Amino acid sequence: MERKMRRFKQLLSEQATKEILCNATNGVLSLVDSDGEPYGVPISYVYDGNK
């Protein structure tokens, strides 16, 4: 199921998104559980091109 971004004014361009991924090493993955409750998972990641 695809959902539209609620705060569309905060939507970043693809280029801006790639810059953030290239310059950072960690972040928070925000999700919604099956009951509709939001939660976040801290992650460390590596961005290598399109992977």
Tens of pLDDT, residues 1-51:
777 888 889 999 999 999 998 999 999 999 999 999 999 999 999 888 776
Q: Is residue 48 part of a domain?
A: yes
Question: 10: which DSSP letter?
Answer: G
Domain enclosing residue 41, as ranges: 25-51
Identify the pLDDT of residue 10.
92
Inside any domain, residue 38: yes
Domain total of the chain = 1
Q: Is residue 20 in some structural domain?
A: no
Residue 51 lies in a domain: yes
Where on the phi/psi map is residue 46: left (φ > 0), alpha (ψ -120 to 50), or beta?
beta
| pLDDT for the residue numbered 51 | 66
pLDDT value at position 32?
Answer: 95
| pLDDT tens digits, one per residue of 25-35 | 999 999 999 99
| Residue 6 included in any domain | no
Residue 36, in any domain of the structure: yes
Task: Give yes or no for a contact between 40 and 31, defined as CB atoms under 8 angstroms apart.
Answer: yes
